[in-house]
């Protein structure tokens, strides 16, 4: 029984480590991070949502559009941290996963701007 529990805990630990690769932050920590000039702010909502309001100085690249990664790679510097957000947190988490796979260091606003 002890071996089973140990194996399960090890498996859960590996799954938790491999899931993200990016940092989730709350609103206060996110606000603090984006004050740094070495951080690029990325809004991954639609262009219409972006026009309705966004965080100042944000770059808009819609994560649901074909070519998201190609546009991100041609727009976002690889040597900067990317602070990504959306409305509710799901799209930004998806974008964060994609960006991490491309070698970016990413901070995600957990729960989005709502």
**Which residues are known to be catalytic?**
86
How far apart CA 36 and CA 49 sit, in angstroms, is 25
22, 36, 81, 99, 100 from 103: Cα distances, Å: 11, 20, 11, 7, 5
How far apart CA 40 and CA 62 sit, in angstroms, is 15
Which pair of structure tokens corresponds to residue 21? 């690769």
> Which residues are CB-neighbours of 54 under 8 A, at least 6 positions away?
43, 45, 60
How far apart CA 110 and CA 60 sit, in angstroms, is 18
């Amino acid at each position: 029984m002890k071996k089973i529990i140990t194996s399960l805990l090890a498996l859960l630990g590996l799954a938790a480590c491999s899931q993200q690769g990016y940092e989730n932050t709350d609103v206060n920590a996110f606000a603090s991070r984006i004050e740094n000039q070495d951080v690029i702010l990325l809004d991954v909502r639609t262009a219409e949502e972006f026009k309705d309001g966004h965080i100042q100085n944000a770059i808009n690249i819609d994560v649901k559009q074909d070519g998201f990664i190609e546009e991100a790679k041609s727009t976002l510097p690889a040597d900067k941290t990317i602070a990504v957000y959306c409305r509710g947190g799901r799209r930004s988490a998806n974008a964060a996963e994609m960006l991490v796979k491309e070698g970016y260091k990413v901070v995600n606003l957990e729960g989005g701007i709502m």
